[in-house]
Amino acid sequence: MAVAPGWYLLLSAAVFCIGLFGVLVRRNALIFLMSVELMINAANINLVAFSLVYGNITGQTFVLFLTALAAAEVAVGVGIILVVNRNFDSIDITDAVTMRW
C-alpha cells in the first residue's frame, strides 16, 4: 500500500516551514543551525519521495551526498559559533554585526 506522493510533499513542506520559522524568529545560533538542518532534511524527504515514486535510485544517492554535506556544514557552523562566542561572549546572532558596511 503505497502512500500518495502528495503526503510526502506536505510533510516536506511542513518540515521546511518549521525550519524557516526557526531561522526567522530564534536568535540562538545553535537553534539557528538546527533549523537550517531541518530545511536541508525537508529537501531530502522530497528527494527520497520522488526517487520512490519514479523508481529511480538517483534521488536516494543525492540524499547520501546531502547528508555528508550537512555533517560538514555543521562542523563548520559549530566552529563559527565557537568563534562568535569567544568574540562577543554570546551566541546571539543579532550581536555579531560588526562586519556590515
Partner 1 sequence: MVGLTPLSAGFSLPFVPGIGGVEVTVLFPLVTFLLILAFGRYLPFKGAYLGIVSTGVGFLVAVATVIQLATGAGIRHETLHTLVAGVEGAGVTLTFGVLIDPLSALMLTIVGLISLLVHVFSLGYMNAEGEIDLPRYYAALSLFTFSMMAFVISDNLLMSFVFFELVGLCSYLLIGFWYRKPGPASAAKKAFLVTRFGDYFFLIGVVAVLGTFGTAQFAGTESFVTMAETALESGDASGINTFGFGAQTWFTVIGLLVLGGAVGKSAQFPLHTWLPDAMEGPTPVSALIHAATMVAAGVYLIARMYGFYALSPTALSVIALVGGFTAFFAATMALVKQELKQVLAYSTISQYGYMMLALGGGGYLAAVFHLTTHAIFKALLFLGAGAIIISMHHEENMWEMGGLKDELRTTYLAFLAGSLALAGIFPFAGFWSKDEVLYETLIHALGGGSPVLFVAYALGLLAVIMTAFYTFRMVLLTFHGEPRTDAAEDPHAVSLSMKVPLVVLGVLSVVAGLLNMAVLKSVLPKDALLLERWLNGETVGGEFAEGALTAEHYHHVLTSEYGAGYTAGYGGLGEGTLALVGGVVALVLAVIPALVAWRLYGGADPDPHMTNLGSLRTLLMNNYYQDEYQVWLARGVTLPVATLANKFDQGLLDGIVDGSGGVSLFAGGRFQRLQSGVVTTYVALLALGLLVLLLVFAVTGGWL
Residues that bind partner 1 in the complex, under the rule CB under 8 A: 20, 23-25, 27, 32, 93-94, 96-101
Number of neighbouring beta carbons within 10 Å of residue 92: 15
Which is closer to partner 1, CB of 51 or CB of 90?
Answer: 90
Q: Which CB, 3 or 30, lies closer to partner 1?
A: 30
Closest distance between partner 1 and the C-beta of residue 20, in Å?
6
Q: Where are the alpha helices (DSSP H) in the chain?
A: 5-25, 29-54, 58-88
For residues 31 and 48, which CB has a smaller minimum distance to partner 1 in the complex? 31
Q: How far apart are CA 10 and CA 100, in angstroms?
A: 38
